[in-house]
Amino acid sequence: MMGKNLAALALLGGLLAGCSIFSSSTAVKPAELEQVTPAIAGRVVWTARVDSVKFPLSVAAVAEQFVVAGGDGTVQALQASDGRSLWSVNVGQKLAAGVGSDGRFAAVVTTANEVVALDAGQVIWRKTLPTPAVAAPLVAGERVFVLTVDRQVHAFDAKNGDKIWILRRPGEPLTLAQPGVIGVFKDTLIVGQGTRLAGVDPLRGTIRWEASVANPRGTNEVERLADLVGPLMRSGEVLCARAFQSAVGCVNAERGSLMWTRNVGGTLGVGGDASRVVGGDASDRLSAWNTTNGDVLWTAEQFLNRRLSTPLSLGATVIVGDFEGQVHFISAATGKTQLRLPTDGSAIAAAPVVLGNTILVATRNGGLFAMRPE
């Protein structure tokens, strides 16, 4: 019974940590917006809407389209160039997790613990999960992979929903009710298993390699909780991830070996590219680390306590949103703000995503804003 109570406490703590970036706080005053003289040009080129977002949102960017979902269960595909709706469908239940898509198949998870799969905008199957999921499914290789809050991985056939395999997480009994790490590298499925980044055979569900990103410390199980949280950053063979309130580190996916790890707090995933990994700490202090060796390149303190989103790295610019719906364009070389664009005043709900030269940001009120730097 004590183990179950501790698990419930950890799950609740994860939910609170995941939601805290979207709620107002009277304990710590956010930094005032700095005066910015634009050093680059950019504008909103189109807008759209979904229902208000009360779950951990993710947006799929694939095949010249953004696939998005709202809290009411509506899933839609939008043309990246102009925002034109390609298809839209309501799955009949509210959503607990965002959408994954490979351009043809898409999948979401509902509050009833159902995985719902779509083909070109039509619901084709539903399957019930044994435990909740808050991470968006991964759709790849005509399979749907779902990571649940207890860090089990379920693999389904994308065409008919047949269960192919289940990978059950060994080890620590506590996990976070916050989106974990799930991604792909070549023919290997990448998942977070506690503090370990694991390469999994997608055909059999067996572990190919593991690399630990953090060394948990603390006097009890809750303090030692350091699950990897999404999103995952990938650049070539390098995969970088955040261990909850513990560390940031990078792994070489070809060798399955740790490249470096740095002790740093924070609750959200990281962005970056071949040159730098960018992420915020518990106070929203942004840091950039050298992707190769983890050396600190710069820190930026102009957004302290502004409850930042996970950043997006795009060439010479890093894009990050805050709790007031402001989207900040930052120099990737220096961390200095170059441009700021407003949205609808509600928090940015997920890491910005990009297709070509179009950046899409989504807000808690359901606003979709497509931006292009110029």
pLDDT, one tens digit per residue, over 258-279 is: 999 999 999 999 999 999 999 9
User: 25 pLDDT exceeds 80?
Assistant: no
Q: Is the dihedral of CA 289, 292, 295, 297 positive or negative?
A: negative
User: 5 pLDDT exceeds 70?
Assistant: no
Q: How far apart are CA 306 and CA 324, in angstroms?
A: 8
By three-state DSSP, how is residue 3 classified? helix
Reported as a pLDDT band with limits 50, 70 and 90, residue 236 is very high
What pLDDT was estimated at residue 16? 38
Structural domain includes residue 370: yes
Structural domain includes residue 325: yes
Structural domain includes residue 185: no
Structural domain includes residue 90: no
**Percent of the chain topping pLDDT 90:** 80
Q: How far apart are CA 99 and CA 133, in angstroms?
A: 12
Mean pLDDT for 248-252 is 98
Is residue 74 within 8 A of residue 50, CB to CB? The reply is yes
Is residue 308 within 8 A of residue 321, CB to CB? The reply is yes
What pLDDT was estimated at residue 20? 37
Lowest mean pLDDT among 22-26, 27-31, 273-277: 22-26
Mean pLDDT for 207-225 is 81
Going by the DSSP 8-state scheme, the letter that residue 15 receives in this structure is H
Structural domain includes residue 298: no
> Which are the contacts of 227, defined by CB distance < 8 A and separation ≥ 6?
14, 151, 175, 176, 178, 180, 192, 194, 195, 243, 244
User: 70 pLDDT exceeds 70?
Assistant: yes
CATH number of the domain within which 50 lies: 2.40.128.630
Number of domains in the chain: 1
pLDDT, one tens digit per residue, over 177-206 is: 789 999 999 999 999 998 999 999 999 999
Structural domain includes residue 127: no
User: 245 pLDDT exceeds 50?
Assistant: yes
Structural domain includes residue 84: no
Look up residue 256 and give its amino acid. G
User: 6 pLDDT exceeds 50?
Assistant: no
Reported as a pLDDT band with limits 50, 70 and 90, residue 2 is very low
Lowest mean pLDDT among 23-27, 35-39, 340-344: 23-27
Can you list the alpha helix ranges (DSSP code H) found in 193-250? none
Q: Find out whether the peptide bond into 231 is cis, omega within 30 degrees of 0.
A: yes
Can you list the alpha helix ranges (DSSP code H) found in the chain? 2-20
Going by the DSSP 8-state scheme, the letter that residue 356 receives in this structure is T
What pLDDT was estimated at residue 69? 94
pLDDT, one tens digit per residue, over 40-67 is: 999 999 999 999 888 788 899 998 999 9
What pLDDT was estimated at residue 264? 93
Reported as a pLDDT band with limits 50, 70 and 90, residue 171 is low
Q: How far apart are CA 341 and CA 350, in angstroms?
A: 16
What pLDDT was estimated at residue 226? 81
Q: How far apart are CA 158 and CA 311, in angstroms?
A: 30
What pLDDT was estimated at residue 208? 97
What pLDDT was estimated at residue 14? 44
Structural domain includes residue 167: no
Is residue 311 within 8 A of residue 319, CB to CB? The reply is yes
Q: Is the dihedral of CA 300, 192, 275, 293 positive or negative?
A: positive
What pLDDT was estimated at residue 218? 66
What pLDDT was estimated at residue 15? 41
What pLDDT was estimated at residue 172? 57
User: 217 pLDDT exceeds 90?
Assistant: no
Domain containing 324: what range?
34-56+304-374
What pLDDT was estimated at residue 9? 37
What pLDDT was estimated at residue 50? 92
Mean pLDDT for 330-346 is 97
* pTM given for the model: 0.90
pLDDT, one tens digit per residue, over 301-317 is: 999 999 999 999 999 99
Q: Which has the higher per-residue pLDDT, 173 or 71?
A: 71
The token duo for 42 is 């950019």
pLDDT, one tens digit per residue, over 93-138 is: 999 999 999 999 999 999 999 999 999 899 999 999 999 999 999 9
